[in-house]
Amino acid sequence: MIAGLSRRRAIAAVLALAVPVATALPLAADPAGRVVGVGGSVTETIYALGAGDRLVARDTTSTFPAAANELPDVGYMRRLSPEGVLSVAPDLIIAEEGSGPPETIQILAEADIPFVAVPAALDAAGVGAKIRAVGRALGLDAEAAALATEIEARIAAVQARAAGVETPTRVLFVLSAAGGRLMASGQGTAADAMIRLAGGINAVEGFPGYKQLTDEAVLAAAPDVILMMDRGAGGTHDSAGVLAHPAVAITPAGRDRRLIQMDGLYLLGFGPRTAEAVADLHRALYPGKG
């Protein structure tokens, strides 16, 4: 069972030739043709770079574009099953930072399957770096550089507009309102970063991550707008429900009935659609400015 490294390499080469679908790439220098995208924004970037036809599987968080949902699902990005990933016979795995678990990554390394970890992003430069990293893994450096530059410029344009805002809108991001208890975003989250990019300010301060707010904290936060994820028609987040929450109802947001709902991956994914999402959020926060 225990073979020398060179023998292992030789077997890997034989395997690559033997896999029927791999016949289009007889040389090692050719770009990977059977890619697994792990992490919603990574899969989105692969499609945005025009390499969607090279994907053979995705993880549970990869739900955009619609074509991604047709691919086999190898599980949640932090709980990948080693045999599940191997079963789609990949020759490249591109995964968002934090994917795992480490046991699976170790086994994939033993099977000689390249595993590229793409850094997570919470700002324009990060989105650019993410797109460039995906492009490098796919052998599409030029396309990635062009897309990254364009997206960075578009985010910068929104930020320039946002800089002109005199009184920034106070935004309360509500992750969930189940049972009348609000889970709100503090600092260091994707929601907090998006609010800042769009020129708003996070209405709650002083804690990292997502935490439950007391009714009094909701009052003290005095949000002008409630921002939530859109869970589709069947979701539990009907706008009337949150705005009718006794504490929210007497904040400026409740009084003016201002609730913004956006798709979760679109709003918080920090992928190729982030420039659009920032612009959308900016327009929704400052409707008068066009």
Partner 1 sequence: MVALSEPTAPVAGDRRGRARQTTWGLALLLLIAAWASLATGAAGVSLSEALGRLISGEGLSLQDRVVLGQIRLPRLVTGLLVGAALAVSGAVMQGLFRNPLADPGLVGVGAGAGLGAVAAIVLSGLLPAGLAAATGMYTVPIAAFVGGWAATLILYRVSTRAGRTSVATMLLAGIAMQALAGAATGLLVYAADDSQLRDLTFWQLGSLAGASWAKLAVAAPIIAIALLGTWGLARGLNGLALGEATAAHMGIPVQRVKNLSILCVAAATGAAVAVSGGIGFIGIVVPHLLRLATGPDHRNLLPNAALLGASLLVGADIFARLVLAPAELPIGIVTALIGAPVFLWILLRRRGLLDM
CB of 15 to partner 1, least distance (A): 5
List C-alpha distances in Å: 10 to 3, 6, 27, 83, 123.
Answer: 11, 6, 13, 22, 43
Q: Give the chain's radius of gyration (CA, Å).
A: 22
CB of 191 vs partner 1, minimal distance in Å: 11
Q: Interface with partner 1 includes 176 (CB under 8 A)?
A: no
Q: Report the residue from 50, 119, 209, 246 that binds partner 1 according to the rule CB under 8 A.
A: 209
Nearer to partner 1, 124 or 267 (CB): 267
- Shortest Cβ distance from residue 107 to partner 1 (Å)? 5
H or E element that contains 253: helix 252-255
Q: Is 239 near partner 1 (CB under 8 A)? A: no
Phi-psi group of 50: left, alpha or beta (phi > 0 → left; psi -120 to 50 → alpha; rest → beta): left
Question: How far from 139 is each of 10, 29, 241, CA to CA, in Å?
Answer: 24, 10, 48
| Pair 235, 180: CB distance under 8 Å | no
- Shortest Cβ 82–partner 1 spacing (Å): 5
Residue 20 near partner 1 by CB under 8 A? no
Least distance to partner 1, CB of residue 280, Å: 24
Q: What angle do the packed helices 124-138 and 40-48 form, to 10 degrees?
A: 60
- Residues 40 to 99 in contact with partner 1, rule: CB under 8 A: 57, 60, 72-76, 78-79, 81-89, 98
Give the H or E element holding residue 175.
strand 170-176
Closest Cα partner for 131 from 274, 233, 253?
Answer: 274
Q: Which is nearer to partner 1, 85 or 226 (CB)?
A: 85
Decide: is 110 part of the binding site for partner 1 (CB under 8 A): yes
Q: How far is the CB of 130 from partner 1 (least distance, A)?
A: 17
- Of the candidate spans 37-45, 62-70, 108-116, 193-201, the one that interacts with partner 1 by CB under 8 A turns out to be 108-116
Residue 111 binding partner 1, by CB under 8 A: yes
Q: Contact at 8 Å (CB) between 254 and 52?
A: no
Q: Which of the 8 DSSP states describes residue 187?
A: B
Minimum Å gap between C-beta 4 and partner 1 is 12
What is the enclosing helix (H) or strand (E) of 11? Answer: helix 5-18
Residue type, 216: E
Query: Is residue 178 part of the contact set for partner 1 (CB under 8 A)?
Result: no
CB nearer to partner 1: give 15 or 122.
Answer: 15
Residues 6+ apart with CB under 8 A from 70: none
Contacts to partner 1 by CB under 8 A:
1, 3, 8, 11-12, 14-15, 18, 57, 60, 72-76, 78-79, 81-89, 98, 101-104, 106-107, 110-112, 208-210
